[in-house]
Amino acid sequence: MADAALPARAIAPVASKRRRWMRRYGLPTLGALVIVIWIVVAIAAPILSPYLPVTVDVTARLRPPSWRHWLGTDVLGRDVFTRLVYGTRISLTTGVIVVLVGALIGTLVGGIAAYLRGRLEELIMRITDLVLCFPPIILAMAIAAALGIGTTNTIIAMLVVWWPKFARLARSLVLVQRSQEYVEAAVVMGLSPARILLRHIIPNSIGPLIVLVTLDIGNAIITFAGLSFLGLGVIPPTPEWGSMVSEGRELIEQWWVAAFPGLAILTVVLGFNFLGDGIRDWLDPRSRRR
């Protein structure tokens, strides 16, 4: 009886580790898988569909999903599946560009303000607070409307409202790091402030910034889709998820026109949120010990 129980005792720790791994990394792995799938869809868009995203066929308008049109057609007879897979390129690209460029600008601005201190820090932080006083979507709408409709103008409008959150986070992280002993040692060695900031302080503060970048890409995709929904994003007939949802917002019976782009936005945003949560837990030593 004792010998028969030995295998069970040996298997139990393995099963426990597997459950613990799934509980900790299951959702982040799922999120990473969803993101990879959408990236593959964006790259392989011309292969996945035999149609072009701007091809109009009024004889096939508002047809439900079928073997010929997997996700149906819209009011102009364009294939919804084709427009959705091509729209992936714009939605993912704009989200990544806005967050990465905004993070770069905000990190440099916040890091410089925290390291140099004085009146420069006060000026930068007051400008940051001024931008943060406005709801991001409202300020982005105003800037996009002033610049004109277009993907590039919309990205510029979003960048104006995107960098302050990274500036505030970078400032707080640099303030913590600049009092560490390795920074004092670098000053004694005669290293320039720019080298200390870029080569030592910012790399040691990068963890929380990576988490914010990952979590914020989904938010940027939603914001760009919202601006396109309001007519301030892409120029028609360019396929984009937000504009596709806008085209089908009044089509109650033809639910597929807006439903599938909306599901695409939902899945990719959840994917980045799951991945960001996983990276945050992985970078947190207290979480790794649990």
Closest residue by Cα to residue 79 from 58, 43, 55: 55
- DSSP per position, 37-98: HHHHHHHTHHHH-SS-TT---GGGTTPPS-SSSTT-B-TT--BHHHHHHHHHHHHHHHHHHH
- The pair phi, psi for residue 73, each rounded to 5°, is -130, 165
Residue 1 confidence class, pLDDT cut points 50, 70, 90: very low
Token pair, residue 256, equals 């597929």
pLDDT at 57 over 70: yes
pLDDT reported for residue 14: 57
pLDDT-wise least confident of 15-24, 72-81, 130-139, 223-232? 15-24
**What's the pLDDT tens digit per position in 191-228?**
887 788 778 787 777 888 888 999 899 999 999 999 99
Q: Which residues contact 96 (CB under 8 A, 6 or more apart)?
A: 217, 220
* Region 244-258 average pLDDT: 90
Name the residue with higher pLDDT: 213 or 2.
Answer: 213
Give the CA radius of gyration of the chain.
Answer: 24
190 in helix, strand or coil?
Answer: coil
pLDDT reported for residue 6: 46
CA atoms within 13 A on the CB side of 94: 30
- What is the overall mean pLDDT for the chain? 86
Which domains are delineated in the chain?
43-289 (1.10.3720.10)
Residue 287 confidence class, pLDDT cut points 50, 70, 90: low
**What's the pLDDT tens digit per position in 30-39?**
999 999 999 9
pLDDT at 266 over 80: yes
Do residues 77 and 207 touch, judged by C-beta distance below 8 A?
no
Closest residue by Cα to residue 259 from 273, 247, 271: 247
pLDDT-wise least confident of 3-7, 218-222, 242-246? 3-7
CA atoms within 13 A on the CB side of 193: 10
Closest residue by Cα to residue 131 from 162, 154, 100: 162
Question: What percentage of the chain reaches a pLDDT higher than 70?
Answer: 89
pTM of the model: 0.85
The number of beta carbons lying within 10 Å of the beta carbon of residue 129 is 11
- The pair phi, psi for residue 66, each rounded to 5°, is -155, 180
pLDDT at 264 over 70: yes
